[in-house]
Chains A and B, each alone.
Chain A
Amino acid sequence: MSYEVLGITVLWIFLFGYLIVASIDFGAGFFSYYSTITGKRHVINNMIERYLSPVWEVTNVFLVFFFVGMVGFFPDTAYYYGTALLVPGSIAVILLAIRGSYYAFNTYGTNKNNSIYMLLYGASGLLIPASLSTVMTISEGGYIEVSDSGKVSFLFSKLFQSTYSWTVVLLALVSVLYISAMFLSYYADRANDRGAFEVVRKYALAWSAPTILSSLLVFFAIRGHNAEHYQRMTEHAWMFVVSFACFLIAVYHVWTRKRLGLSFIFVMLQFGFAFFGYGAAHLPYILYPYLTIHDNFTSEPMAIALISVFILGLLLLIPSLYLLMRLFLFDTKYVQGKRGK
C-alpha cells in the first residue's frame, strides 16, 4: 500500500468514526428536544443524558482529527477546499459552537432545563449534518471553479439548485436519526428501561425505510452528476449489497426486540460497507477533477512521521476509549443509573 492510500484510509476511518459517534450525538439531541415537545421527555431523557454526558467532548475530536490530518497528508486540500468552503465551513463551525456550548450550559449549568437551550441544541443537531454533507457533495466536482490564474471560487447557487446535493442532505438527515435511534434502542435495552426502549424503538423503525430509500436516491443522483464515479461504484457493487444485508439483519433484531447489541454492530457494518465502498470508488480523486491523492502529497519524511505518530497515538487512544466504554457503556450499574456522578 502506498503512503497516499494509507494516509487517506486512516483519514477515512476517522471520518467514519465521526459519522457514527456524531450521528448518535446529533440524533440524541434532536430526540431529546422532540420528546420535550411531545411530552415524552421524562421517559427517555435520563437515558440519553447518561450516555451523552461523558462522551460529548470526544465526538468533536474525531472531526478535528480528520481535517488536521487531511491538511497534513494532502496540503493542497487546504488550498482548494479552504478557499471554496469559507461560507459553508463557517456556518458549520458556528452551528457546532452553538450546539457544543449550549449542551454544556444546559447539562452542567442550570438546574432545570432551559427550553431555548434545548431548541438550539436540537435544531443545530440536524443542521450540522446537512452543512457538513455539502463537503461530500462538493468533492464530486461541478461546484467549484478554478480560473486560469488558480483562483478557486465556489458556485453556491449551483450547489443550491442541484438535485444531487439535496439528496445527500436528505440522506445525511435521515441516517443521523436512524443511527441514533438504533443506538439508543440498544442503550435503553441495556439500561433495562422498557419505557424508553419502546419509544426509541419506534423512532428506529420509523427511520429505517427512509434511510434505505434516500441511499437509493443518492445512487441515482450520482449517476446523473458524476458518471465516472458511478461507474466505479458499480465495480464495488458487492459492498453495497453487503451493506443492504446488514441493514436487514439490524432492523430484524430491533423488530423482534432481541440481541440489540448485535443489531447495532450491524448498523455500523451497514454504514461501514457503504461508506468505504463509496470512498474506494471516489479514489483517486479528493476533489473531482482537480485534486487526486497523488497531487502534491506531503513529503516522504512527513508522511512517515505522521503515520508513526498515528500508530503511537492509537496505542494510547484505544485503551483509553476502551476504558471510557467499559465505564459508561458496558457498566450495567452506570447505564441503569445506579451510580451517582
Chain B
Amino acid sequence: MLLSSYDPVMYSRMLTGLTLAFHIIFATIGVGVPLMIALAEWIGIKRNDEHYLLMARRWARGFVITVAVGVVTGTAIGLQLSLLWPSFMKVAGQSIALPLFMETFAFFFEAIFLGIYLYTWDRFKNKMTHFWLLVPVVIGSSASAFFITVVNAFMNAPAGITVKDGKITDISPFGAMLSPAMPTKVSHVLVTAYLTCAFVLAAIAAWSLLKGRNHVYYKKALKLTMVSAFIFLISSAIIGDLSGKYLAKYQPEKLAAMEWHFETTSEAPLVLGGILTEDNEVKYGLKIPFALSILAHGVPNAEVTGLNDIPEDEHPPLFIHYLFDLKMGFVAMMVLIASAFMLLLWRKRELAFSNKRILRGIILAAPLAMLTIEHGWIFSEVGRQPWILRGIMRTSEGATVSDHVDTMLWVFALLYIVLAFSSVTVLTRMFRSNSAEQEIEAKGIKGGDAE
C-alpha cells in the first residue's frame, strides 16, 4: 500500500510534483505568450494593421490572469523547495544559489515592465515606445526560464564542484551553471514553451472560426500563430535530437531505462511501444534497427550502454519508457497537424481557415502540446531517480522529516483545484462577454491593409 504509513519522502515528492505540474502550465504560458504578443504588436505597427494591435491587446488581457496564477504558484514552489527539501537546499544554497538569485532578478524585471506595459497602451504618441516596453518582459520571462532550468540542469548533471567524502567543496558559482545538461535543457524548455503558446493561441482562433465566426481578425491570428508554431516545432525537433545525444554521454542510465535497453551493444535498436514482463523481457514492442545508436551517437554502429552495466540501486523506474513513447506520440500528432495546415495555407489558402478537420486538429494540438510539456518534465524528473543531485545526494536524503506533509499535500491539492477552476471561469467569461468582433466595432477599426 502506497499511502498506508506516513512517509515524508513520498509525500514530499508528491507535493513537489503536484505543485510543479500545476505551475508548469502557467509558467509555460508566461514564457511563450509575451513573445507572441510582441510579434503581433510588431506586425501591427509595421503594417499599420489595427487587427494585430487588437490581437496583442486581447492576448495581453488574458495573459495577466495566467501571470497571476503563475506568480503565486511560482512563489509556492520557491518556498516549498526549502520547506520540503531542507537538506537538499542546504547543499543547493552553496552550489546553485547564483542562478536561483538571478532568476528572481529576471522575474523582478519582467514584473516591473509588465505592469508598465499593461497600463500604457494609449499613453505614448509613438506606438513603438509602447512596443519597446514589451522587450524587457520577453527578455525577463525567457531569462527566468533560463536560470531556473540551469538549476535543474545542475541537479541532473552536477558541475563546477568537487565532492569529497560526500561533502561539496571547491564551488565555482559560474562553473556550476555550465552543467553539461544546460545547453540542451535550456533550449528545449524555451522553444517548447514558445511552441505550446503558439498552439494555445492558435486553438483560440481556430475555435472561433469553427464556430462560424469568420472575421478576418481570426484568420490573421490563426496564420500568425500556426506559422510560428511550425517554425518552433522544427527547432524543438532538432534540439530534442541533441538531448538524446546528451543523455547517451552524461546520463546513460536514463536513456537505457527510457528505451528498455538492458545489454550494452552496438547497432542498438529503438523500441517503440511494447510492455515489459516481470523478468525484463520486452513484448509486443516495435524494434527499429540501429535507431537507438543513431539517436545516441549519430552513427548506426555506435555502442549504447545498457542498464545491466549500471548498479541496480541506481536504476531509474522503467515505466518512463511509456512516458517517453506517449510524449513522442503527441509530438507526431502535432507535426501532422501543423504540416497539414502549412500545406493547405500554401496550396489552398481559404481552405486552411475553413476546413473543419484542420480547425479541430488545431484545437486538439493545444492540449497535446501542454501534455507533451508535462510528460517531458515527468519523464525527465522521474528519470533521474533515485538521485536528487545525480551521483551526490539521493532523493530520500534531501527530504524533510517534518510531520504533516500529508495534510499539506491535500490542502495544496484543494488550492490548485480552486485556482484552476476560477482561472478557467474568469478567462472564458472575459472573452465571451467581449468578443473580438464587438471590440473591433466598438473601436471603429477598419480592416487593415493585409486583406
The secondary-structure label for the interface of chain B is: helix
How far apart are B174's CB and chain A's nearest CB, in angstroms? 7
- Interface residue? A65 (CB, 8 A): yes
Question: Is A109 a contact of B173 with CB atoms below 8 Å?
Answer: no
Of the candidates B79, B80, B97, B120, which one forms a contact with A306 in the assembled complex, judged by CB atoms under 8 Å apart?
Answer: B97
A105 and B83 contacting across the interface, CB-CB below 8 Å: no
B115 & A306 in contact (Cβ 8 Å cutoff): no
A12 nearest CB across to chain B (Å): 16
A-contact bits for B251-274, CB 8 A (1 contact / 0 none): 000000000000000000000000
Given contacts A78-B93, A93-B79, A93-B80, contact A98 B98 (CB under 8 A): no
Shortest Cβ distance from B69 into A: residue: A101
With A61-B104, A83-B402, A341-B119 in contact, do A301 and B171 touch (Cβ < 8 Å)?
yes
Contact A57 B111 (CB under 8 A): yes
- Closest residue of A by beta carbon distance from B94: A75
Contact A64 to B78, CB < 8 A, known contacts A79-B86, A105-B426: yes
- B: number of interface residues (CB 8 Å): 73
Q: Which of chain B's residues 45-88 have a Cβ closer than 8 Å to chain A?
A: 61, 64-65, 67-69, 71-76, 78-80, 82-87
Give the residues in chain A near B83, CB-CB below 8 Å.
82, 85-86, 89-90
Number of interface residues of A (CB under 8 A): 72
Q: State whether B429 touches A97 (Cβ < 8 A).
A: no
**Cα–Cα distance between A102 and B136 once the two chains are bound (Å):** 26
**B174 engages A305 (CB within 8 Å):** yes
Closest to B110 in A: A57
Question: A39 contacts the other chain (Cβ, under 8 Å)?
Answer: no
Known: A82-B89, A83-B401, A94-B412. A301 touches B75 (CB 8 A): no
Complex contacts, A97 vs chain B, CB 8 Å: 72-73, 75-76, 415, 419
Interface-centre pick from B64, B90, B401 (highest chain A CB count, 10 A)? B90
Q: B65 to A109, Cβ gap below 8 A?
A: yes
Of A176-184, A274-282, A319-327, the stretch lying at the interface with chain B is: A319-327
Q: Is B94 in contact with A298, judged by CB distance below 8 angstroms?
A: yes
Q: A151-B401, A301-B171, A313-B105 are in contact. Are A328 and B100 (CB under 8 A)?
A: no
Task: Tell me the bound Cα distance from A60 to B107 in angstroms.
Answer: 10
Interface string of B96-127 (1 = CB under 8 A from A): 01101111110111011111101111110000
Residue B405 CB within 8 A of the other chain: yes
Task: List residues of chain A with CB within 8 A of the CB of B92.
Answer: 71, 75, 78
Which residue from B94, B107, B115, B116 sits with its C-beta under 8 Å from A64? B107
Tell me, in angstroms, the Cα distance from A58 to B174 when the chains sit together: 27
Task: Given A86-B402, A305-B174, answer yes or no on A101-B68 (Cβ-Cβ < 8 Å).
Answer: yes
A16 to chain B, nearest CB (A): 16
Q: Are A104 and B415 closer than 8 Å at their CB atoms? A: no
CB distance from B71 to the nearest CB of A (A): 6
On whether A101 and B105 interact (CB within 8 A), knowing A58-B115, A298-B94, the answer reads no
Q: Which residues in window 317-341 of A have CB below 8 A to B? A: 317, 320-321, 323-324, 327-328, 334, 339-341
B-contacting residues, A44-102, CB 8 Å? 53-58, 60-61, 63-65, 67-69, 71-76, 78-87, 89-90, 92-94, 96-98, 100-102
A38 proximal to B (CB < 8 A): no
Q: Is the CB of B71 within 8 A of A328?
A: no
B172 contacts the other chain (CB 8 A): yes
Q: Say yes or no for B235: interface residue by CB 8 A criterion.
A: no
Do residues B111 and A61 form an inter-chain contact, with CB atoms below 8 A? Answer: yes
Q: Are B76 and A93 in contact (CB under 8 A)?
A: yes
Nearest CB of chain B from residue A17's CB, rounded to whole Å = 11
B91, A72: Cβ atoms closer than 8 Å = no
> Is B119 in contact with A109, judged by CB distance below 8 angstroms?
no
Complex alpha-carbon distance, A29 and B400, angstroms: 35
The contact of B68 among A100, A309, A341, by CB within 8 Å, is A100
Question: SS class of chain A's interface: helix, strand, loop or mixed?
Answer: helix
Rounded to whole Å, the gap between the CB of B313 and the closest CB of chain A is 25
Chain B residues near A298 (CB-CB < 8 A): 93-94, 97
CB of A110 within 8 A of chain B?
yes
Interface check B422, CB cutoff 8 A? yes
Q: Which residue of B has the minimal Cβ distance to A320?
A: B112
A104 to B115, CA, bound (A): 12
* CB of A299 closer than 8 Å to a CB of B: yes
Task: Report the Cα distance A305→B97, complex, angstroms.
Answer: 10
Is A79 in contact with B89, judged by CB distance below 8 angstroms? Answer: yes
Contact B101–A75 (Cβ < 8 Å):
no
Q: Which of A208-247 contact B (CB under 8 A)?
A: none
Q: How far is the CA of A89 from the CA of B411 in the complex (A)?
A: 13
Q: What are the 5 closest A-B residue pairs judged by CB atoms, nearest first?
A: A75-B93, A72-B97, A104-B68, A82-B86, A78-B89
Residues of B within 8 A of A (CB): 61, 64-65, 67-69, 71-76, 78-80, 82-87, 89-95, 97-98, 100-105, 107-109, 111-116, 118-123, 136, 171-174, 400-402, 404-405, 408, 411-412, 415, 419, 422-423, 426-427, 429-430, 433
Q: List 19 A-B contacts (CB under 8 A).
A: A54-B118, A58-B115, A60-B71, A60-B75, A71-B92, A72-B93, A72-B97, A72-B98, A74-B93, A75-B90, A80-B86, A81-B82, A299-B171, A302-B171, A306-B101, A317-B112, A320-B113, A324-B112, A334-B119
